[in-house]
């Protein structure tokens, strides 16, 4: 807390000390499920099945979905996001572009879960429900 106070006083940019600067626009708004969809990985197909018809479940729990595929980052199942694929991969220590990984990032920017296997929406919701509430 003291570090945050000092940084506020001296005017340091939040991106300088944020755990994941590429996701700064989501900070204190929602959890973010980042899916690195490897080009040479068949786990993407299973993940796609887990996400089918789950748009409302994600939205109702304030979970943003970002897919990192090829050289782009895509949001909300369709739209392109204004985030660099290389930057988010570096910020989250993500896998190579050929591999799959699912990472859950909390509203404070901390990684709360990472899996090399596809995850169901219900599993993500259960994880969030078990997380301690953050006090600001």
- The tens digit of pLDDT for each residue in 85-133 reads 999 999 999 998 999 999 999 999 999 999 999 999 999 999 999 987 6
Q: What is the pLDDT of residue 2?
A: 47
Q: How confident is the model at residue 17 (pLDDT cuts 50, 70, 90)?
A: low
In this structure, the strands spanning 72-75 and 63-69 are antiparallel
**3-class DSSP assignment, residue 48:** helix
61-94 pLDDT per residue, tens: 999 999 998 888 988 655 556 889 999 999 999 9
Q: What is the pLDDT of residue 121?
A: 94
Q: How many residues does the chain have?
A: 136
Beta bridge partners of 74: 67, 80
The 10 Å Cβ neighbour count of residue 64 is 19
Mean pLDDT value of segment 36-51: 87
Q: How is residue 132 annotated by DSSP?
A: P
| Torsion angle defined by CA atoms of residues 57, 97, 13 and 113, in that order, rounded to the nearest 10 degrees | 40
Reported in sequence order, the residue ranges of 2-135 that DSSP labels E, i.e. its strands, are 31-37, 63-69, 72-75, 79-80, 101-105, 111-115
């Amino acid at each position: 807390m003291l570090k945050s106070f000092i940084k506020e006083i001296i005017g340091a940019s939040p991106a300088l000390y944020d755990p994941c600067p590429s996701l700064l626009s989501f900070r204190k708004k929602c959890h973010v499920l980042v899916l690195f969809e490897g080009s040479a990985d068949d786990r993407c197909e299973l993940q796609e099945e887990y996400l089918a018809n789950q748009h409302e479940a994600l939205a109702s729990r304030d979970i943003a979905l970002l897919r990192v595929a090829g050289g782009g980052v895509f949001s909300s199942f369709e739209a392109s996001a204004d985030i660099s694929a290389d930057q988010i991969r570096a910020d989250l220590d993500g896998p190579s572009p050929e591999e799959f990984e699912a990472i859950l990032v909390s509203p404070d920017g901390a990684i709360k879960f990472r899996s090399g296997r596809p995850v169901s929406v219900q599993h993500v919701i259960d994880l969030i429900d078990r997380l301690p509430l953050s006090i600001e």
